[in-house]
Amino acid sequence: MHYKRYAYIHTIGCQMNVVDSEKLTTVLNARGFGYARDPDQADIIVCNTCAIRHKAEEKAFSFLGQFAREKLKRPGLITVMAGCVAQQEGKKAFKRLPHLDLVLGTQAFSRFSRHIDALTSGQRKIVDIGPSDVIFEAMPDDTGFAENKVSKFVTIMQGCDNFCTYCVVPYVRGREKSRSQESIVNEIRLLADNGIREITLLGQNVNSYGIKEGGISFAELLEKVAQIDNIRRIRFATSHPKDLSDELIQAMACLEKVCNHLHLPVQSGSDRILKKMNRGYTKDTYLSRVDAVKTAIPDIALSTDIIVGFPSETLPDFNETMDLVARVGFDSIFAFAYSDRSSAPAAKFSGPVDEREKMDRLNQLLAFQDTITLKKNQQITGQVVEILVEGISTRQHDKFVKTTRHTRQMTGRSPGNKIVHFPSDTIAAGDLVNIKIENAYPHSLWGRPLEQPSHEK
Ligand code: SAH
Ligand code: SF4
Ligand code: F3S
């Protein structure tokens, strides 16, 4: 199909932003905008932004800043700041980006279509950071399947009520709201009909799904989703340790389609810091939830988020975090240096940690985790692991070049979310295959399919 006008969307931030950007694309498509692969070819440029750390926010300003000059050359070009930074900044965004045409807050996505019409009829400098009663639920259309993906994210909740003291999310995403089970199930059926085989259910705290609305629990939602034909794997993020229920652990253990992987952000191993963060658990209660999970699901893969250098964090506090990391044995971690967010209470807490000290602690933590991740990967060598194939690898492994006669190197993920490469000329994206793992690397595994047709061995 040929379009008269094109849109380019640049996404910064979490998986929810990825979903929101897909939905913004759908709205633009319904308004007659095709998808541009390059901003130079676009009539409208949208940056979907993230405010979680200072660096993410700066990325948004520098990306959009590039187009000030371009607009002098092409006055018809429309630029949009959308999402979390837009919600946070409102009309202040014009101070640094006077050439912006629309500031679209997170609650204003459901009014995007109306704003596009206003923009195309010549209106400029629109700011919408108003509230919304409805959840932004544009159903995926054909544009969403253009890339022939196997796996998709589905947002089941918006916002957050937890108010961790370092975090902007409750301020930029608003109060927690759950989507109806019908709407979620309908969307996943549609995705399955279009070839999607794996879905990841998203929310800031999926364990509290439906509680406010008095609907079914998250564990019950998992059961409903598991009944959908052709969906082979289900993942979810994020679980808050204080709300991780036995019911959910049981559901994970019983439902075959639910992957044995749990992302359980701990943030810190120090009780004093956890309290200041308003996390609602201690190091011991976290460790005992991890034990409950490991007992119910012995091959569970665990991952976490950690913040180092929270205000007043001392070396002994940091060492508590290192000790927790050693005791849990995470398969992977996401670690961040604490970043002051002016709307979050911790920005006013005393005892800021020196930037260099933060980076030292961060590097120490990451180096330690690298050794654990490699050990975990090495433990898998020799085992047979079921892989959901995602497609042909973009980069060929040394092992591939040296040891096979195949023309294609494929890539996929294990239930524990590890990337696995293997040679095959017949196995296709969307297949579930058993791979015997032969080699472990820091960030991936290499193996061979058990069911490789004999002529390919
Ligand atoms: N809702 C999820 C994650 C939200 S943001 C949860 O509760 O875990 C993703 C991660 O960013 C957080 O887990 C935290 O580790 C990190 N993060 C949030 N605010 C931050 C800040 N001000 N500085 C550094 N890291 C932060
Ligand atoms: Fe932020 Fe805490 Fe909510 Fe996660 S649970 S989004 S860290 S306030
Ligand atoms: Fe960032 Fe907003 Fe997600 S602040 S992490 S894009 S909810």
Q: Within 10 A of 43 (CB to CB), how many other CB atoms are there?
A: 18
Q: Which of 88, 157, 204, 305 to mutate to test the pocket of ligand 2 (most atoms within 8 A of CB)?
A: 204
Ligand closest to CA 263 = 1
From 247, 280, 242, 284, select the one nearest 264 (Cα to Cα).
242
The owner of tokens 């389609």 is 257
Task: CATH number for 148-259: choose from 3.40.50.300, 3.30.750.210, 3.30.70.20, 1.10.3370.10.
Answer: 3.30.750.210
| pLDDT reported for residue 393 | 87
Q: Is the CB of 306 under 6 A from ligand 3?
A: no
Q: What ligand 1 atom has the least distance to the C-alpha of 204? A: 1
Kindly state if the Cβ of 50 falls inside 6 Å of ligand 3.
yes
pLDDT exceeds cutoff 90 at 134: no
CB 375 within 8 A of CB 337: no
Give the tens place of pLDDT for each residue, 21-69. 999 999 999 999 999 999 999 999 999 999 999 999 999 999 999 999 9
Which ligand 1 atom sits closest to the C-alpha of 335? Answer: 15
Say if 5-128 and 384-449 have the same CATH topology: no
Helix 283-296 and helix 246-254, axial crossing angle in degrees, nearest 10: 30
**Is the pLDDT reported for residue 70 higher than 60?**
yes
**Nearest of 417, 206, 390, 240 to residue 330 by alpha carbon:** 417
Distance 14 CA to ligand 2 centre (A): 12
Q: What would the pLDDT profile of 327-360 be if each residue is shown by its tens digit? A: 999 999 999 999 999 999 999 999 999 999 999 9
pLDDT in tens, 358-401: 999 999 999 999 999 999 999 999 999 999 999 998 777 766 66
3-state secondary structure 179-240: CCHHHHHHHHHHHHHCCCCEEEEECCCHHHCCCCCCCCCHHHHHHHHHCCCCCCEEEEECCC
CB distance 53 to ligand 1 below 6 Å: yes
Q: Which CATH superfamily is domain 5-128 in?
A: Methylthiotransferase, N-terminal domain (3.40.50.12160)
Q: Whose CA is nearest to atom 11 of ligand 1?
A: 52
Most informative mutation of 52, 53, 161, 313 for ligand 1 (most atoms within 8 A of CB): 52
Ligand 1 centroid from CA 339, angstroms: 10
Q: Considering the domain 384-449, what is its CATH architecture?
A: Beta Barrel (2.40)
| Residues 6+ positions from 4 with CB-CB distance below 8 Å | 32
Question: Rounded to the nearest whole angstrom, what is the distance from the C-alpha of residue 39 to the centroid of ligand 2?
Answer: 33
Atom of ligand 1 nearest to the CA of 306: 15
Unique residue bearing structure tokens 């050693």: 326
Atom of ligand 3 nearest to the CA of 168: 4
In a 10 Å sphere around its CB, with 0-12 CB exposed, 13-18 middle and 19+ buried, how is residue 37 labelled?
Answer: exposed
Q: Which ligand is nearest to the CA of 84?
A: 3
Helix locations, 198-353, DSSP H: 218-226, 246-254, 271-277, 283-296, 315-328
Please name the residue whose Cα sits nearest to atom 4 of ligand 2. 204
Class (C level, CATH) for 261-379: alpha beta
CA nearest to 51, candidates 172, 175, 203: 172
Lookup: tokens for 143: 């544009």
Say how far apart CA 320 and CA 365 lie, in whole Å: 11
pLDDT of 455 higher than 60:
no
What pLDDT sits at residue 400?
A: 65
| 164 within ligand 2 shell (Cβ under 6 A) | yes
